[in-house]
Amino acid sequence: MTAVLIVAFDGLQPSQIDPNRMPVLSKFADAGVRFLHNHSVFPSVTRTNSATIVTGVRPGKHGLTANKSMFPEYSTNQVVDALHPKLSEINQLTKGKLLFVPTIGEVIRKHHLQWVSVVGGTSGNAYVQHPNAAENGHVVIHPEFTNPSVHSDKIKSQYGDWPSKKAPAADLIRRTADVAIGYALTELNPDVLMVWFPEPDTSQHAFGVDSPEARRMIELADRELGRILKRVSQQGYEPDVFIVSDHGYSTIDSVIDVDKELSAGGFNIGSEENSVVTADNGGSVLFYLPEADGELSARLLRWLSVQRWVGSIATDIPNDGTAQFATLSDIGLRGPRAPLIVVTMRSSASGEVAPLASLGAATGGMVGLGSHGGGSSAELHNTLIVRGPSFKSDYRSKIPSGNVDIAPTILHLFDIPVPGHFDGRVLTEALQHTGIENVNNSHTLMDESSKSKTGAVTKAQYLHTEYMCQFG
């Protein structure tokens, strides 16, 4: 019997939830807990945040530092696009340590509980939710693979071939819900089920933030959420439900070819000697040097600090003191797979209310279309709504929260001790009978740090947990 249901709307901003376009979710939120100050982790990309949702730690600690990044165990000069089957190959190479810390699935397995994911987004997003699902007797379902593979033929025989992922992704939304209802809930009946809709992300990339196409997909995904909630209600037990998104959004006002810019600046690119390797992630770029070269790294840092398309810089490279940069720890990326330098692309407030709140440069796409991955407030603020027997009713929380808090809260609901390595916290303010009704300002801090000529890191803190509100 499903006790915890997680439904993700890829790229859904809180401001896009209203009774006209999302009547199901709006009614759900009105009766539950809406977190008004919720945060993604940086970079604000899907696969990094998906890994954070299931591990309760920041990217540097779990090791999936971006959609595109470098895995030194696999290659010291090749950037990997974090998709299946490449991630499976790396997981085998690292003996099950694609992620450095256990996922929720691995933790609950020790308590004889079952995890299932049904993911209509990217294959990498699906895979990182539970890389070791087969070894734990759990299931991850995606159009391109299932883990374990035995479920692929069963689903195909029942539903036929999966629809292709094209924008708008209407057919994929419907099929994701069909499989979640008819296969995951009916045949597998896990204790924890995660369902991931590919919209509005797919349409916002293709047509623009809050475009008519994206709005239609939001409306459709809302209806499919209603189908899932109806099926869950028929089990005779009300589950605790988490409605989440992975990140927010920005609108592209310029497209930057970073490798072209580097070449024009006199740097070698890729596999050449003394080269710079870049991993572009929409609103941010990770920089690597395959060979340690202090002079080259210092020159690269100086060059980046004067580029007009750079919003802010984070690095642990010592500098001459004329500029102060954020550290990799400041942005949650310090760890064994950390890049040398991270930049967030220049962004600015659009002057429009959310979801059209931010404009900025991006490493791909087209001017006028949607992007994310950067450090703007619009990209780092996302959706979190909960409802169920464990949670308060009709409550609005102004206390800072984030994707990093979902895993510890789920474990708490099962009375499973939260591991000490978690960065996130239990969302006690949302639970029944906690007595937390108001924000305690002594526990809620807005802190600006690592100011530089290119911007600052702004964080919110509640208890021991920090949340990035803006970078750049």
Identify the pLDDT of residue 437: 52
Q: Let me know if residue 107 belongs to a domain.
A: yes
Confidence of residue 274 (pLDDT cuts 50, 70, 90): confident
CATH of the domain at 144: 3.40.720.10
Q: What pLDDT is stored for residue 450 in this prediction?
A: 40
Residue showing tokens 């808090």? 405
In this predicted model, what pLDDT tens digit does every residue of 322-333 receive, in sequence order?
A: 567 999 999 999
**Average pLDDT in the 462-468 region?**
96
Helix (H) or strand (E) holding 250: strand 250-255
The count of structural domains within the chain is 1
Q: Residue 449: inside a domain, yes or no?
A: no
Query: What is the DSSP pairing of strand 268-269 with strand 275-280?
Result: parallel
| Confidence at residue 44, expressed as pLDDT on a 0 to 100 scale | 98
Q: Where are the alpha helices (DSSP H) in 234-336?
A: 258-264, 294-304
In this predicted model, what pLDDT tens digit does every residue of 340-356 receive, in sequence order? 999 999 999 999 989 99
Mind listing the pLDDT tens digit for each residue in 82-118? 999 999 999 999 999 999 999 999 999 999 999 999 9
| Residue 467 lies inside a defined structural domain of this protein | no
In a domain, 435, yes or no: no
Q: What is the per-residue pLDDT across 226-251, written as a single tens digit (0 to 9) for each?
A: 999 999 998 888 999 999 999 999 99
Which of the four pLDDT bands, split at 50, 70 and 90, describes residue 291? Answer: confident
11, 36, 69, 9: which is closest to 397 by C-alpha? 36
Q: Which two tokens stand for residue 245?
A: 């998104």
Q: List, in sequence order, every residue forming a beta bridge with 285; answer none if it has no partner.
A: 280, 343
DSSP 162: P
Residue 447 has pLDDT above 70, yes or no: no
Average pLDDT over residues 424-444: 71
**pLDDT per residue as tens digits for the range 149-170:** 999 999 999 999 999 989 999 9
Amino acid at 94: T
Report the predicted TM-score, pTM, of the whole model to 2 decimal places.
0.95
Print the domain residue range for 129. Answer: 4-248+374-430
CA-CA distance, 163 to 175, in Å (whole number)? 8
Is residue 143 domain-resident? Answer: yes
In a domain, 340, yes or no: no
Query: Is 361 within the bounds of a domain?
Result: no
Q: What is the pLDDT of residues 363-385, one digit of tens each?
A: 999 999 999 999 999 999 999 99
Would you say residue 449 has pLDDT above 50? no
Please state the rounded mean pLDDT for residues 466-472.
95
For residue 369, tell me if it sits in a domain: no
The rounded percent of the chain whose pLDDT value lies above 70 is 94
